[in-house]
Amino acid sequence: MRVLVTGAGGQLGQDVVLQFRQAGHEVIACDRNELNITDLEQCRKVISANRPEVIIHCAAYTAVDAAESDVDGAYVVNAVGTRNVALAAEAVGAKLIYISTDYVFNGQGEQPYHEYDNTDPQGIYGKSKRAGEVLVQSLCSKWFIVRTSWVFGLYGNNFVKTMLRLGREKPMLKVVHDQKGSPTYTADIAHFLIALVATEKYGIYHASNCGTCTWYEFTEAIMEEAQQILGWPVQAKLEPCTTVEFPRPAPRPANSVLEHLSIRTNGFEDLPHWRKGLRQFLLDMKHKPELYLK
């Protein structure tokens, strides 16, 4: 299958490109230099020239806090850019996968959010990603929206790499213990996308690693697994704290847990438990030490 990936230089994009190529697909990897998604004519030109059967739209404005003061910037990328990709995809008859986020919900509910729950984003990032979802649904006839959460991967910066670094540098770390979610390894998302694009089971999917934890519990697991798998001495003592003690410009959802209703009802294999994903991530890091703190 001929697959075009936007945001191919990003954390998720790099794993998507790698895994789809390993699965035997022909991949056109487009980072921001090859494809500026905010330019409608360039989107049409690049996508028309390559005529992909599938477009995996990973490119996004993901700076959650910066978005609060850069409203136009967030919407230009996440809404206008997504509209441009959607129009170009429809013009060539390509399936479109749009990568979205748990931030489209308000995060105040007690239960995990399933695909058909009402959205209610609280911050600019979530609102702009939800705008992208609406545009995909409005402009495409063959679409998948894949929401994920708490993403970490080998490429680029993320929470796991930050905690590994701070765990060796700081005597004590305070970590939020009143936000819960499902940490998700990018390689596991990419694996699911390979299965998804082979079908015509269009719609909204929640794809995160199974199981739940708080950021504090996640950090505990990171330290434990790093010592076992990487043999790294971790000196930092962990102390739980509240969201109020760690204020940020953008509101953080207290509950980011996504229920995988569509995965079950459409007969797909679910993603592994987050702890298994974390272990695999650390094993993969062990074989690519140049990416440890990159």
Annotated catalytic residues are 125
Q: Which residues pair with 29 in a beta bridge?
A: 5
| Contact yes or no for 153/15 (Cβ under 8 A) | yes
Residues 6+ apart with CB under 8 A from 63: 70, 125
Structure token digits, residue 162? 């930050």
Question: What is the dihedral angle through the alpha carbons of 216, 219, 221, 224, rounded to the nearest 10 degrees?
Answer: -130
Please write down the HEC assignment for all residues of the chain: CEEEEECCCCHHHHHHHHHHHHCCCEEEEECCCCCCCCCHHHHHHHHHHHCCCEEEECCCCCCHHHHCCCHHHHHHHHHHHHHHHHHHHHHHCCEEEEEEEHHHCCCCCCCCECCCCCCCCCCHHHHHHHHHHHHHHHHCCCEEEEEECCEECCCCCCHHHHHHHHHHHCCEEEEECCCEECCEEHHHHHHHHHHHHCCCCCEEEECCCECCEEHHHHHHHHHHHHHHHCCCCCCCEEEEECHHHCCCCCCCCCECCECCHHHHHCCCCCCCEHHHHHHHHHHHHHCCHHHCCC
